[in-house]
Structure 1
Amino acid sequence: MLTVVLITMLLGFLLGIPVAITLGLATLSYFFMNPGLPMVNIPLRFVTGAESYTLMAIPLYMLAGNIMNSTGVTDKIFRFTRALVGHYTGGTAQVNILASFIFSGMSGSALADASGVGKVLIKAMVDEGYDVEFSAAVTGASATIGPVFPPSIPMVLIGGVAGISVGKLFIGGIIPGIMLAIYMMVLVYFISKKRNYPKRSKASLPELGKEFWGALPALSTPVVILGGILGGLFTPTEAGVVAVFYALVIGIFVYKQRDFGKIFQMFVDTAKGTASIMFIVGAAYSLAWVFSKEQVGILLTDGITALSSNPTVVLILILLGFLAAGCVLNPSANIIIFVPMLMPLVMSVGIDLVHFGVLATLVLMIGLVTPPLGLSMFIICEITGLTTMQFTKGMLIFFVALLAVVVTMVFVPATITWLPQVIIGG
């Protein structure tokens, strides 16, 4: 019966059927093979999956990111980062990474980063003489920072399904987010030096001060969100409400974006995006119930612990599985289906839950820029007109940087666990 479910999933992916529908068909195939099971379980699992206080943060962070993208915030960040690092080797590529890092503290979404910052920065890089493949690859790689550095929509999902503190996950992602930016900026420096890519003239102090002042309201967003969470003023979910309110205030009153038709469209786009994600979440919860009933989690635990009970070895095996699954399955679906099944294994071998959660987030984000079904890859290819093969060719060297960060985090757990212990404790 489990074989039929897996074959249905594989066929759905090969035929290009949308992820949520593929997961739903896989679940239906299980019920058809077990006619004694009441079909009402499927809609019940759909509703149960979406009915979560923690998951309310998803549309809020999506809306905050859409508002930032549509009210001039992206341009302000671009101008400030260009004045700050544009004169270094690989100037606009460095700007791309730094802008993504700053924007990551606002949206929590790799897709918002790729579609918002990506449109502006890819055009700027190509206009200045950078290869389009390199421009696309820098954008795709830097977009992975978004869900690692807080706030983070995938971390909200992981915290919700695994019972891990979302606040600790957020704080645990700070140092890895900084590491991602540094690793990529160093890589860009050497590539740009070798290819003789252009750089801008150094901005004067008055120019830098002017651009900093213009971007300050946007730059303050992560401070407001994280400061409120750490200060106990609001929960990570409530922080989403604050982020939306703050984005609207600076968009309308500071950056004076008062096209209310455009603002209404942001709400429409957020509603569509939320519906798409929650459809996947509901379908994934239904399929997760099937896997739970078939005791797949126990089979996985027994199979992996038979190979090794060393926490580091087990963690590496899990991450390799996530890397493979991330190439074909949406991160939300991966989290809902596999994280709950893996939690008994993770806890049984003594892997720190925050360490696991942050690593899982990064590895799944790598899947977004990996063929054949990476969503960030498709967005960037649509922006640039590249084929997925051309994009992947440009990404190869950046995969090395991304995996180097993963390896560092695996073997030096303190890169993730130290800051939450210092700030939150426990």
Structure 2
Amino acid sequence: MNTPVNTADAAVHGAGRPSGAGTGWLDRLDRGIGLLVETPAALLVLAEVGVLLVGVIWRYLLHSPIIWSDELASILFLWLAMFGSVVALRRGEHMRMTAIVGMLQPRTQAFLDVVAITAALAFLLLMAEPAYEFAVEEVWVTTPALDIPNSWRASALPVGFVLMIAVALLRLARLGRPSDVLRAVVAVTAVVGVMALAAPLFAGLGNYNLLLFFVVGVGAMVFLGLPIAFAFGLATFGYLALATSTPAIVMVGRMDEGMSHLILLSVPLFVFLGQLIEMTGMARAMVGFLASLLGHVRGGLSYVLIGAMYLVSGISGSKAADMAAVAPVLFPEMKARGAKPGDLVALLSATGAQTETIPPSLVLITIGSVTGVSIAALFTGGLLPAVVLGAALAALVWWRYRHEDLSHVRRASKAEIGRAFLIALPAIALPFIIRAAVIEGVATATEVSTIGIVYAVVAGLLIYRQFDWRRIYPMLVETASLSGAILLIIGAATGMAWALTQSGFSSSLAEAMRALPGGVPVFIVVSIIAFIILGSVLEGIPAIVLFGPLLFPIARQLGVHEVHYAMIVILAMGIGLFAPPFGVGYYAACAISRINPDEGMKPIIGYLVALTIGLIVVAAVPWISIGFL
């Protein structure tokens, strides 16, 4: 949920080249490339839904499993990830941290945006040839079910890199001043050249290179506004090329491994499901029922916001989609009742942090894929911790609104509440259907999203009679773009995590954590502090991919249940993600609410305290996370 690159496009336009006839051919070329990559990306999302759904039907209903369905889904998935990454780069939607850049003057911001694109271009140019070599090598590997060369799948990497190179060049030509582009190219080339000349120096630094490349280097690039995936990629490529003898093709292989986990296929499918929920009116129906139930209570609509985020988070898997589904429905009425904009965006951000553990959270899925923890156990264990944090928020809402004047608010009748419940019932049932399908073995955590998609389509067409076919294609493209941005981060972070592991850092970290005095309590406290910081800077997914494989084994050795530890880690990252001034989730909530970030800075402090108290309770009482496993 980090701020995407396109948030600064206006600044680039404002300080950059004038639009007009001179750029008309560039605009036409951009539209052509858009059509070239967006249409296949949208079709790939549809194809994945179809392949997985057919697999579920044949295995569970017809009792005749299709042995090649997962393999075909895996092949298509890498192509979807790469085409989605291209779409995200073209649309300026790769995740980046802009808290520092946003404080600078518009002219400086515009130049740094050009630097970000140029640095991304440098990474793509460095990776294009190794990606091609990797695809060529994969021709000798044959897939077990389809019996075709694995190069059909691996070719997605060089094709995606070449398309991203074209898109990056086009973005520089369209959005940057010639002087800014020239200075950026010179600066990036100079940095690469100096690093290459200093290679003998790096060879003698040993593990100090980890600090130089992965702390100083990544930190500088992230805070300068480089997209996170490319910052990770550049740091890892630089470390392997300058401080080790490892060929770049190995990094491509690690990226391929990170992006090819079939469990991650649920990422685009749940993103698409979240958009369907909003489009069909199911989210509005749920919020309407809760409002009729609690609208007459002091602070009632705040309770509705907490409950609505809980229910919607159980469906979409995307915090941005959750907030976008709930805020436009509730905020106008809450403002009419006298709520201050700052209070609204503060509570919206707090509920975003509260619901990070509710399945099918993308962070839960990522933890399962990189640490080996059972996805079904994570889905079950994540429900009650969110209730605890929700109760803490509700207690603070009660205190803040205990003197609210509701003399002008009419209480909904029992008939109105019953009618709203009947309308919302099909929508409320969806998260329970999804969870039941996983628990009962109807579908895997990857496949269950297709059941939700079919359910949402049927409900939209037959029950809510709200289904705009014209929105399907843009929703598919948006799904591919967001998924590509997430998956490229996972791929780059997997390469970085592998480099850290090979360097011996993981064993050193494990020894340091095991040597902490105080045993389990101190380990958990240190983990909470570390992941709050990581969550504010990196967001959940890259932080989990980097540090999950390192810290979860230590937790197991200390006797901490892996699901309990997962809940602690996720909630800590959620607090960091939505805590200003660096929590980028907070700024996403402000953008969705159309509220100035300054207005929520003071009100959110109380909510962060409430969330922290709830997190301490969850950490101190393991039963909350594992009692129903």
TM-score, structure 2 normalization: 0.64
**Pick from 125, 129, 152: which aligns with 2:334?**
125
**Pick from 393, 410, 418: which aligns with 1:201?**
410
**In structure 2, distance between residues paired with 1:389 and 1:310:** 41
What SS is found at the alignment partner of 2:447? helix
Q: Which moved more, 1:280-289 or 1:191-200?
A: 191-200
Q: Offset at 1:194?
A: 4.8
Determine if contact 2:282/2:424 at 8 Å carries over to the other structure: yes
CA deviation map 1:35-88 (0-9, x unaligned) = 622011222111110101111111111111111112212221121110011111
Determine if contact 1:111/1:375 at 8 Å carries over to the other structure: no
**Pick from 542, 545, 550: which aligns with 1:333?**
542
Q: Which moved more, 1:174-183 or 1:132-141?
A: 174-183
Structure 1 residue 235 corresponds to structure 2 residue 235 = no
CA deviation map 1:368-398 (0-9, x unaligned) = 2123443421222213444444333221101
Larger C-alpha radius of gyration, 1 or 2?
2
- Change in Cα spacing, 1:184 to 1:223, as seen in structure 2 (3 Å) is same
Q: Which moved more, 1:164-173 or 1:125-134?
A: 125-134
Structure 1 residue 302 corresponds to structure 2 residue 492 = no
**Alignment correspondent of 1:382:** 591
**Pick from 114, 118, 122: which aligns with 2:323?**
114
**Alignment correspondent of 1:353:** 562
Structure 1 residue 100 corresponds to structure 2 residue 345 = no
- Change in Cα spacing, 1:418 to 1:37, as seen in structure 2 (3 Å) is same
Q: Which moved more, 1:385-394 or 1:238-247?
A: 385-394
What SS is found at the alignment partner of 1:307? coil
**In structure 2, distance between residues paired with 1:173 and 1:143:** 14
**In structure 2, distance between residues paired with 1:368 and 1:250:** 33
- Change in Cα spacing, 1:306 to 1:294, as seen in structure 2 (3 Å) is same
**In structure 1, distance between residues paired with 2:441 and 2:509:** 38
Q: Which moved more, 1:74-83 or 1:139-148?
A: 139-148
Q: Offset at 1:197?
A: 7.6
Determine if contact 1:104/1:145 at 8 Å carries over to the other structure: no
Equivalent residues in 2 for 1:85-96, closer than 5 Å: 85-96=294-305
- Residue identity matched to 1:232: G
Identity of aligned residues (%): 29
What SS is found at the alignment partner of 2:586? helix
- Residue identity matched to 2:225: G
Q: Offset at 1:198?
A: 8.0
Q: Offset at 1:413?
A: 0.5
Determine if contact 2:537/2:577 at 8 Å carries over to the other structure: no
**Alignment correspondent of 1:179:** 388
**Alignment correspondent of 1:45:** 254
**Which consecutive unaligned segments of at least 5 residues does structure 1 have?**
421-426
**In structure 1, distance between residues paired with 2:551 and 2:336:** 47
Number of residue pairs the alignment of both structures matches: 420
**In structure 1, distance between residues paired with 2:538 and 2:211:** 18
**In structure 1, distance between residues paired with 2:261 and 2:407:** 49
**Alignment correspondent of 1:423:** none
**In structure 2, distance between residues paired with 1:40 and 1:198:** 69
TM-score, structure 1 normalization: 0.94
**Alignment correspondent of 2:230:** 21
**In structure 2, distance between residues paired with 1:392 and 1:29:** 38
**Alignment correspondent of 2:211:** 3
**Alignment correspondent of 2:114:** none
**Alignment correspondent of 2:31:** none
- Residue identity matched to 1:98: G
**Pick from 49, 71, 89: which aligns with 2:280?**
71
Task: Kindly indicate whether structure 1 or structure 2 has the higher relative contact order, using CA contacts under 8 Å at least 6 residues apart.
Answer: 1
- Change in Cα spacing, 1:347 to 1:369, as seen in structure 2 (3 Å) is same
**Pick from 455, 470, 479: which aligns with 1:261?**
470
What SS is found at the alignment partner of 2:446? helix
**Alignment correspondent of 1:402:** 611
**Alignment correspondent of 1:344:** 553
**Alignment correspondent of 2:432:** 223
CA deviation map 1:118-142 (0-9, x unaligned) = 2322333223310000011111111
- Residue identity matched to 1:222: P
Determine if contact 1:91/1:200 at 8 Å carries over to the other structure: no
**In structure 2, distance between residues paired with 1:118 and 1:136:** 9
What SS is found at the alignment partner of 1:284? helix
**In structure 2, distance between residues paired with 1:189 and 1:198:** 17
Q: Offset at 1:278?
A: 0.4
Poorly superposed stretches of 4+, deviation over 6 Å: none
CA deviation map 1:286-325 (0-9, x unaligned) = 1111111122221222112222261222122112110111
**Alignment correspondent of 1:280:** 489
Q: Offset at 1:266?
A: 1.5
- Residue identity matched to 2:533: A
- Change in Cα spacing, 1:282 to 1:322, as seen in structure 2 (3 Å) is same
**Which consecutive unaligned segments of at least 5 residues does structure 2 have?**
1-208
**In structure 1, distance between residues paired with 2:570 and 2:324:** 20
What SS is found at the alignment partner of 1:74? helix
Determine if contact 1:109/1:147 at 8 Å carries over to the other structure: no
Aligned-residue CA RMSD (Å): 1.8
